[in-house]
Structure 1
Amino acid sequence: MSGGEGDGTVVRRDRFSGGPARSFLSSMDDDDRIFAADLAVDRAHVVMLAEQGVVSEDDAAAILGALADVEAAGFDALPDGEDVHEAVETAVVERVGRVGGKMHTARSRNDEVATCIRVRLREDLLGALESVLAFREALADVAGAEAETVMPGFTHLQPAQPTTVAHWALSYEGALARDAGRLLDAYDRANRSPLGAAAFAGTTFDVDRERTADLLGFDGVVTNAMDASASRDFLLEAVAALASVAVTVSGLAEDVVFFANRGFVALDDDYASTSSIMPQKKNPDTLELVRSTAGDALGAYQGLATTLKGLPRAYNRDLQNATGHAWTAVDAVTEAVDVAAGAVATADWPAEALEAAAGEGFSTATGVADALAAAGLPFREAHEIVALAAERGADLDAVDAAAREATGEQLADLADPAVVAAALDPVESVAQRDSAGGPAPSAVGDALEGVRAGLEDDEAAVAEREAALAEARDALAAEVASYD
């Protein structure tokens, strides 16, 4: 050997050969999540291959029996592999020999992994939907119980108009109802099977893609084979819908943190904590963490979109790193929704304190201006009178003095003082705003009827999808059992 350069080359080769690259490529540390999905996909594929005569029934029975053993042993018993799909196949071959290799006939890991992700994602989306529906139910219950609990309403965090706890709660229920619709849409587009697309150009074998889709509970197939194997837009849509939920719930969490600061709400001890040094403190910690979850979800969306941006068509290994963003989002958002729902459902709303604060900052001013306008004054003149009244003490005498200054007439000549006095009162002010969607108890009661009906519709939609998946699982299990 000539000199140190040769020795250095050997060292470098030793350092960079073997393990590091294989470890870098492996997704096994994250694949426990799709272990059950992979077994289901394997079973559906093998049943279809046997039905199509691509493999014999005896070979199918041997493979399906091995898959049962692999399932019973669990994910941790799998041999080393680049991913769960390779590890399961290796485990099957270890049990039944060469015939186990027939399990992979007429498919690629590309269509296999795309299918497994969809199988697991749809379960997670249904779980997220169940949490959102439960939160909506909790908000509806709060609205029903607090329909007459007057509270201050804010814009720009400044006292604006009196409202009710019910009106506030239903504002978030409405937003979450739209979020639920987005999640349902994401579910339906995710619930299409890529299986049978193979690497990206289909297969020469006579496969029945509709059959495997049916066995796995999909609503149909992603027709184009290249699209089926390569696309991850279903992940992007799902994470976007989850991020929307997180943004909605983050806003609610901020409100509750602010309300707690002002003494407008008392959180149950299970959803608050005390300071380690200041024993008088009761901190809305859980809601602060809920608030921050929007950052996790939006970060997941950004990470996913950036990973997918500009990829050439067909499969690229970048997609291995894309999927984790979806799991991050669905786990974080579902947990945050559950916590926020529990915090709101168990909170106490101190009616006296809320009503006392409802009139702060002359928050009934708009109602007074409306009362003057309803009596015949142009709204701009009414607005000017009320603005002057705000400077004089914001009571009936102040309104009368302001009317004299602005118009030269006393209040009694412009409007019924009793009507104006009622408008000055926060409780009466709320009761007068009974237009559709308003905070008046009567309007809240009407709104609640629609909310309950919408909840029932969405609950039925989720139950229908869950039932379809359960039916497909039973049907697949029955087909597998027929090969025993």
Structure 2
Amino acid sequence: MTDEGDESVIRRDRFSGGPARGFLSSLAADERIFAADLAVDRAHVVMLAECGIVDDETAGAVLTALDAIEVEGHESLPAGEDVHEAIETAVVERVGPEGGRMHTARSRNDEVATCIRYRLREDVLAALEATLVLRESLADVAAEHAETVMPGYTHLQPAQPITVAHWALSYESAVRRDTARLLETYDRIDESPLGAAAFSGTTFDVDRERTAELLGFDGVIENSMDAASARDFLLETTGALSTLATTLSGLAEDVILFANRGFVDLSDDYASTSSIMPQKKNPDTLELVRAVAGDAAAGVQGLTTTLKGLPRAYNRDLQRATPHVWETVDAVVEATEVAAGAVATAEWNEDVLAAEAGAGFSTATGVADLLAANGLPFRTAHEVVALAAEKSAERGSANNASGDEPRANGADYDAIEAAAEEVLGEPLETYADPAAVEAALDPAESVASRDSTGGPAPDAVADQLEAARATLADDREAVDALRTSLEEANAALREEVNAYV
């Protein structure tokens, strides 16, 4: 029989040093910030040497060890609770106890916060660059199809004829805003927490602005508690990516529907065949693009729930926050690149689009506008055209039943003429010239007549396209400048390190 004391020992042996150690460790997941941690370590050590907190010889030994660790890679790190601890252990193994001086005047709290921001800048730049490629693809489609008439829909019902260019530029506008959101988010990521230590600063006379400069940050987060604990930049980034994913989902859904209706043919690179039905061509890649919106929304929800209600300063919950961001950014960047490729390589079936552009009496609004412009109250004109739509549908049904071919515009004109007599008690000619009515019924003429700012008429589209190209050039310049700034900071840091190594 085991006594109570023996049972206590058994319980302690069972749970000591066991699964809790592995549960706490983030070393495997931290591979993503391995390079970031090395950069942060280098900048911190250079600053410590410049401030006289560590001597040059020690700094050189530590920086040399960091170079060797970089060459050997993340997979060669010793076991540790996280990548930060593992790298420090690897440095001490090479340098001896003096290697531990690299951690002077900092905590893992400000260190990890800096590493996350350092790596996230690269990821957001990748997302920004992907949006620029997508916008260029959409603008190219618009330039090629400024006069390609197609049906426009509301509630998935034929509504008014538009052009492929007008449709493409509607998404270019949306992705343009997604670019703007990511640029604004980048500005708030681009601040250094390093030097905040655990959360209340350090007694050492460190130069926080210097480490920010060495790492290419635009400045420092001044309040040390905020610097070490804030993760709102993660939530903002994930939210911006989720919004982009929602834009992509709508774009993908449209193209999937257009492919279903024969309006567009996807490149074989962005489609697949059925495993059993050889005649099918499935828009698989766009279906996956559409699904990424769900992944991104889950990232926002997961991150929000993790951060909700945390007390100020560092809490271990934050270790579970960053995977939501990494998974979201990877999925959304890939989806954006795929969407850009699918749009750029698709072929629009202009004959099919033109034939369908007037379906469902989609030019009715133009006829009502014409009647109103000639003196009829718009609501009365609306009533005339609504009745005409009913009569046109009845004529179409009768023609289908008899096997006769309906006249595309003529049948509608006949219906409008009959409706005008019924509603107004006067001939249609009293309010509109028959030739003008026929022109309003024509999808191409209908599109050309809607040339107000932002409309689908070719002239209006040309103005939109010019603005889209100009903003795209500005945004590309801004993104290139951010990329160049990081590259220059990395080169400058390397030069400073080389002075000690």
TM-score by length of 2: 0.95
Paired amino acid for 1:48: M
1:434 aligns with 2:434: no
- Measured against aligned partners, the alpha-carbon deviations of 1:40-60 in whole angstroms (never above 9, x if no partner) come to 000000000000000001110
Measured after TM superposition, the shift of residue 174 of structure 1 is 0.2
- 1:399 maps to which residue? 416
Measured after TM superposition, the shift of residue 9 of structure 1 is 3.7
Paired amino acid for 1:433: R
Measured after TM superposition, the shift of residue 388 of structure 1 is 1.1
- 1:193 maps to which residue? 192
Measured after TM superposition, the shift of residue 13 of structure 1 is 2.5
1:210 aligns with 2:227: no
Measured after TM superposition, the shift of residue 7 of structure 1 is 4.9
- Measured against aligned partners, the alpha-carbon deviations of 1:325-349 in whole angstroms (never above 9, x if no partner) come to 0001100000000111111110011
- 2:307 maps to which residue? 308
3-state SS of the aligned residue for 2:160?
strand
Mapped partners of 2:59, 2:446: distance in 1:
74
Q: What pairs up with 1:179-328 in 2 under 5 angstroms?
A: 179-328=178-327
1:412 aligns with 2:429: yes
The 4+ residue runs of structure 1 with deviation greater than 2 A are 2-15
Mapped partners of 2:425, 2:174: distance in 1:
47
Measured after TM superposition, the shift of residue 14 of structure 1 is 2.6
- 2:21 maps to which residue? 22
- 1:37 maps to which residue? 36
- 1:455 maps to which residue? 472
Mapped partners of 1:186, 1:366: distance in 2:
42
3-state SS of the aligned residue for 1:152?
strand
Mapped partners of 2:159, 2:70: distance in 1:
60
Paired amino acid for 2:143: G
Measured after TM superposition, the shift of residue 411 of structure 1 is 1.1
- Measured against aligned partners, the alpha-carbon deviations of 1:285-336 in whole angstroms (never above 9, x if no partner) come to 1111000000000100100011000000000000000011000110000000
TM-score by length of 1: 0.99
- Measured against aligned partners, the alpha-carbon deviations of 1:206-231 in whole angstroms (never above 9, x if no partner) come to 00000000000000000000000000
3-state SS of the aligned residue for 1:36?
helix
How many residue pairs get aligned? The number is 483
Mapped partners of 1:157, 1:9: distance in 2:
69
Measured after TM superposition, the shift of residue 179 of structure 1 is 0.6
Mapped partners of 1:395, 1:345: distance in 2:
37
Measured after TM superposition, the shift of residue 15 of structure 1 is 2.2
1:473 aligns with 2:490: yes
Mapped partners of 2:437, 2:164: distance in 1:
24
Mapped partners of 2:271, 2:364: distance in 1:
36
3-state SS of the aligned residue for 2:237?
helix
Aligned-residue sequence identity (percent) comes to 70
Paired amino acid for 1:289: L
Q: What pairs up with 1:112-127 in 2 under 5 angstroms?
A: 112-127=111-126
Measured after TM superposition, the shift of residue 8 of structure 1 is 4.1
Mapped partners of 1:97, 1:390: distance in 2:
87
The root-mean-square deviation of aligned C-alpha atoms, in Å, is 1.0
- Structure 2 gaps of 5+ residues are 393-410
Paired amino acid for 2:419: A
3-state SS of the aligned residue for 2:336?
helix
Mapped partners of 2:60, 2:221: distance in 1:
29
Of residues 440, 447, 451, the one that matches 1:423 is: 440
3-state SS of the aligned residue for 1:439?
coil
